[in-house]
Structure formats: C-alpha cells, structure tokens
A and B are shown apart, each in its own frame.
Chain A
Amino acid sequence: MNQQIVDLIIQVSNDLNEQLKNKIEVGKRENADLFGENGVLDSLALVNLVVQVESAVEEKFGKSIILVDGANGNEKQTHFATVGSLAEYINNLIES
C-alpha cells in the first residue's frame, strides 16, 4: 500500500507545483523534501497539501484521516519532512 500512497502524494504534489516557485522535487519520489529544514513548502502550501492529500486518501482508500494533531498533540510533526515520511505516517493511520 505504501507505494500507492507515495503515488498519491506525488500526484497531489504535481498539482501543487503549478502554484509553487520552489517546486517539490517529485522525481526524488520518497526522498522529495516537503516541510522542515530542507523543505520547499511554507505553512500555507503545507495546508494545501494536507487538505488535498486527506481528501485523496479518503477517495482512494475509503478512510477519513487527519494529519495534524492540534493543540493537544505533543509529537513533533516530523512526518511532513519528506514524501516518504508522510506516506509511512498515512500508511500507519490507515492500518490502525
């Protein structure tokens, strides 16, 4: 399933890239940087990515997920670092 999720994130990233000056390097697949120290997304671009990925996951896998913790979350949001880390996080949410 993980590769399907990677494909889904890449698809959303391609769409988002049309609006970005600093593009997500989708050719790097799992290693493409998203958000964080080496990331290309600012917080608003990340909001766009998250909303579109959540919708795409629900459409493809029939599971509603929320990727952001909110005020009670304690963990660092490191799952947004790369396409691979995000795919793994989504995979865990879908299987949980």
Chain B
Amino acid sequence: MHPIFFKPRLRDKFTDDLEKIFFFNGNQKRHLERINHAVEKYGDIKLYNDKGFVKFNFTNLTSFKTIFSLDDENSEKANLLGVLIYRQAPIDNIELIHIAVNEACSFGGEFSNEEVSFRMIEKIRRDASKNKLIKTITLPYKKTELSINQKLTKSPI
C-alpha cells in the first residue's frame, strides 16, 4: 500500500478536484443520496476560497473540521484522494458528517486497494482517542457507533 498524507487544510489549486470528488462523483447514484442527506441535515453546502485554501460552508453548521487525504506530501505533485468532514457532538462523541473519495479509490481504480475511507476514519479515531472526553465515533448516515478504542485497521495508517 502507498502512504497517505492527511491535511487539515487544502490548497485552492485542488478546488476543481474537490468539487469533482464531492459533487460530481462517479459513484453518483450512491453518493448523491448521501449528499442530499447531508444537505437536509446541515443545509446547503458550498466551497469557498479563504486565503489560498479551499473550505466548506454549510448553511446550518458552524462548527466542524475537515481532513483531506493526498497521495504525496508535496501538494504540487499530490492527487486528492478523499475528504472527511466531522465534528465533536455531543462532547463525548465524534460525529462523521460526510466522507467522499476519489473515483480512483473505487473498485478497479488506481487506488482501489488503498482503503482510503478506512484510513481516514482511523486517522480521526487515533487523534480523537488522545482526548479523554471522547468515547465514541458515529459513522455517517447509518449512525453506526464504534468505541473510540475500536481500531479500524491492523497496521499503521
């Protein structure tokens, strides 16, 4: 497997790639339901530029965090693999709001074996587990809950 690099912010040069992954995903049928679900719950979603970085805006959601996964540490050479939006709500839980991955990570794609979704969630879980207040993570849509101590991958991400 290839290393994946996680970033809390994304350079605006990736705006088109992020739009494509988020709004025009090739797995559109499944993805569209989830986008609609997110819009129903958190309001309209827009991308905007903030001092050279591309950011999300939700009409009804003010406090959330984003993690982006890239295939290279150097953002000049990197491809955007995925994005995960999440928040701490209530205080002892991380709620995953939306996750979208590059079509190349789908079956048959260049990164189909990279388990990008699992690795992004595992990254959030590991970081959140350092906060003693947080006990659980809820996955988007199905609301499956896992303990903060439940590892998602055997080896390092």
Contact = CB atoms under 8 A, between A and B. Distances in A.
B108 interface: yes
* Interface residues of B, dominant DSSP: loop
B24 interface: no
A48 to B, nearest CB: 5
Interface residues of A, number: 30
Contacts of A35: 107
A36 B4 CA distance: 22
A46 B3 CA distance: 21
B154 A69 contact: yes
A46 B4 CA distance: 20
A47 B118 contact: yes
A19 B142 contact: yes
A92 interface: no
B122 interface: yes
A35 B27 CA distance: 14
Interface residues on B, range: 35 or more
Contact of B1 (A37, A39, A71): A71
Interface in B112-135: 113, 115-119, 121-122
A71 B155 contact: yes
Contact of A47 (B117, B154, B155, B157): B117
Interface stretch (B45-53, B54-62, B85-93, B145-153): B145-153
A44 B99 contact: yes
Interface stretch (B14-22, B29-37, B72-80): B29-37
Interface of B: 1, 3-4, 27, 29-31, 33-34, 99, 101, 105-108, 113, 115-119, 121-122, 139-142, 144, 146, 150-157
